[in-house]
Structure 1
Amino acid sequence: MSNTQKSAMDLIARPGEITLGIELPLDNDWSPAGDARRREEGRPYGVPDLTRYPELVRQIDDARFAALWMRDVPVFDPRNFGDAGSVYDPFVNLGYLAAATKNVALGTAAIVLPLRHPMMVAKAAASVEQLSGGRLILGLASGDRPVEYPLLGLDFEARGETFRKGVDYLRAAWKNGGLPLGDGRSVSEYDLLPKPTGNRIPMVIAGNGQQSNDWIAGNMNGRFVYPGDLNRMASQAADFRSRRAAAGHDRGAFISAFHLDLADDPDEVATPRRFGARLGRNSFIDHMARLQDVGVDHLAVLLRPSRRPLPEVIEELALDVLPQLRSTDTKTRAA
């Protein structure tokens, strides 16, 4: 991270532009051809093809996308959810990405904090922050899969309170002055190493974590929301920023996602699908401009529905979309 860059958040929240990131896993199993290939290989639905993962990661990093995002799915539940997410343990994966990439922010969307002791999360996150040169964005959530809690002997209904206590612990553990006990006290005889740069790591919340909007604005550097109606997203972004201003904080980062099937024809109009669409790049650029207009700073795209080969899609996004997004005039990008 350069001397002028203050935080990994600077990689995704840039004045005058909307940035683009890629969500793992990197396959196209949700396309018709990809699903047929999955069946032939005998993989359960939702378990991705990871054979080209390393080369695609390097392509994304070299192309200077803003971020790579991964989910936290501890237990594959094919009956109720049918999606294995990024498969790899998120912190092991982050360690690999810290070495395999040089430019992109490394984001989690999101670590299910109540499932882990916050001391171990604090140490793992600080390790990634140091090894990546300050590129970690720690996305956190309370979890929406009830099956995981009883498997670990944890109370699903108490996850909101556990989440808040966990966030407090993380902040205390990253500071100098001893190891927190979780009750407001600390033990000066012990400490947690390494410490992150500046004794802090930017945190964003995915969903609401069972928390109030005031708590989110006061404690999280960013908010990651599901894609949806633009008016709703505009209201969410404005509310988040007004509450942050009232708490004396900077504007923070407002983040969303999109399931992208990029058409060959750059002028193909959008055919909506759940959480995204099939569309040409010009329509996608227009959509990004509208998102920026309503207050979105960063969009994480999932490429699993893509009918085209992923290297080809990534290359088109890098060559023909990213330069358009770096314009400060959203009204004339697609002109």
Structure 2
Amino acid sequence: MSKISALNLIRKPDVMTLGIELPLDNDWSPEAQARRAGSGRPHGVPDLSSQTELVRRADRLGFSAVWMRDVPVFDQVNMGDAGSVYDVFTLLGFLAGVTEHIALGTAAVVLPIRHPLMTAKAAASVDVLSGGRLLLGVASGDRPVEYPLLGLDFDSRGERFREAVLYIRQAWQPGGLPVNGKRVPALDVLPRPVQSTIPLIVAGQARQDDGWLAANMDGRFVYPGSLEKLAAQTAAWSATTAGEGAFISAFHLDLLDDANSPPEPIRFGARLGRKALISHFRRLAESAVDHIAVNLRQSTRPPAEVVEELAADVMPLLSKKTTTLAA
């Protein structure tokens, strides 16, 4: 049985790791919004023209993960955000072929709107194609419009989520597929994952209690929050999982040219200079946050510049041990 685990790419004993959240553009900055309007591209549809090269660059520079969302339908009225545009498993397979080291994470696949057999097969395929780099973030979904389009009940999504998790875990193991509650040895899903089991990471609460999540998930991905809130969440998650569960959050970043610029809050993150960012990230690391997915959509600087600066001047300094920031 393989001992490869993509969790080891993002969860390190001594440092907090950084990843990148897709779509990898700065389309929410004022300058990019003006360009979008001039080009006729609809509001909410990202600029993907440089994304592949930026993901390759993040891979070469040592970022630990790239994260993508599962948004089947562009709801222009209620959400106004097309997410990563491409089907999440198609995008995962493509990125598996153009990267070598970086973990491929979903944040998150909406389990109740997909048959668990097809999810299990798609995820196993990505895991093999990537050499065991898949982190399967999963959720119950928060977009009610998707459910009636598929003829599904929105209110029962919590129960469907639990059923899907059980089915998928069984489908990845030898012994046959579940049929009417019993495993049929003659039926199998190929390919078998490279990892002994692909890590499941819950995004949000998925309409489950903390005990169930701790027993069935390998990690959790929470919305960005204050230092105090995240410290409380990491402590609770660690206590519930006996320190075994990975803890992940995100941060929307507008990294300014002036390294000494003080922080200014923006939605889900901050506009600030490098020194303030390092200080903030170090405090997250010391609070036992394992991994931060950086979102650059509000960046006023080109994403390529920010990715380079994060790799060179921020990532090497994110110790989980209490340290003093050099002047």
Normalising by the smaller structure, the TM-score range is over 0.9
**Matched position secondary structure for 1:255:** strand
Residues matched between the structures, number: 327
The one-letter amino acid of 1:300's match is A
**1:220-239 alignment runs, 5 A limit:** 220-239=217-236
In 1: Cα distance, 2:35 partner to 2:14 partner: 42
Return closer, same or farther for 1:328/1:227 CA change in 2, 3 Å cut-off.
closer
In 2: Cα distance, 1:136 partner to 1:259 partner: 23
* Contact map agreement 2:127 2:195 (CA 8 A) in 1: no
Match of 1:144? 142
The one-letter amino acid of 2:172's match is W
What is the deviation of 1:189?
A: 1.6
* Contact map agreement 1:286 1:334 (CA 8 A) in 2: no
**1:78-93 alignment runs, 5 A limit:** 78-93=76-91
Match of 1:314? 307
The one-letter amino acid of 1:332's match is T
What is the deviation of 1:244?
A: 1.1
Quote the RMSD (CA, aligned, Å): 1.5
* Contact map agreement 2:132 2:195 (CA 8 A) in 1: no
In 2: Cα distance, 1:102 partner to 1:334 partner: 34
Identical residues among aligned pairs (%): 60
Match of 1:211? 208
The one-letter amino acid of 2:155's match is E
Post-superposition CA distance 1:237-289 (Å, at most 9, x none): 111111112xxxx5211000011111000111111011011111111111111
Q: Can you give the 5+ residue segments of structure 1 that lack an aligned partner in the other structure?
A: none
* Contact map agreement 2:288 2:320 (CA 8 A) in 1: no
Among 62, 65, 71, the alignment partner of 1:64 is 62
Post-superposition CA distance 1:158-184 (Å, at most 9, x none): 000000000000100001011112x43
What is the deviation of 1:188?
A: 1.4
Post-superposition CA distance 1:219-246 (Å, at most 9, x none): 100010011122222221111111112x
What is the deviation of 1:303?
A: 0.5
In 1: Cα distance, 2:54 partner to 2:5 partner: 25
What is the deviation of 1:199?
A: 3.9
In 2: Cα distance, 1:306 partner to 1:162 partner: 38
Among 159, 162, 166, the alignment partner of 1:161 is 159
What is the deviation of 1:313?
A: 1.0
Q: Can you give the 5+ residue segments of structure 2 that lack an aligned partner in the other structure?
A: none
In 1: Cα distance, 2:18 partner to 2:175 partner: 38
Match of 2:6? 8
Match of 1:35? 33
**Matched position secondary structure for 2:72:** coil
Match of 2:47? 49
**Matched position secondary structure for 2:131:** coil
Return closer, same or farther for 1:273/1:5 CA change in 2, 3 Å cut-off.
farther
Match of 2:107? 109
Match of 2:174? 176
* Contact map agreement 2:74 2:82 (CA 8 A) in 1: yes
Post-superposition CA distance 1:183-236 (Å, at most 9, x none): 431111211111113541001000000000001111100010011122222221
Match of 2:193? 196
* Contact map agreement 1:324 1:334 (CA 8 A) in 2: no
Post-superposition CA distance 1:274-324 (Å, at most 9, x none): 101111111111111111122211000110101111111111111111121
In 1: Cα distance, 2:196 partner to 2:311 partner: 34
> Taking structure 2 as the reference length, what is the TM-score of the superposition?
0.97
Runs of 4+ off more than 6 Å: none
Post-superposition CA distance 1:115-139 (Å, at most 9, x none): 1000000000001111111110000
* Contact map agreement 2:2 2:195 (CA 8 A) in 1: no
In 2: Cα distance, 1:143 partner to 1:96 partner: 24
The one-letter amino acid of 1:109's match is A
**Matched position secondary structure for 1:39:** helix
**1:286-301 alignment runs, 5 A limit:** 286-301=279-294
* Contact map agreement 2:5 2:196 (CA 8 A) in 1: no
User: Is it true that 1:130 corresponds to 2:128 in the alignment?
Assistant: yes
Return closer, same or farther for 1:44/1:153 CA change in 2, 3 Å cut-off.
same
Match of 1:323? 316
The one-letter amino acid of 1:268's match is S
In 2: Cα distance, 1:84 partner to 1:198 partner: 31
Match of 2:251? 258
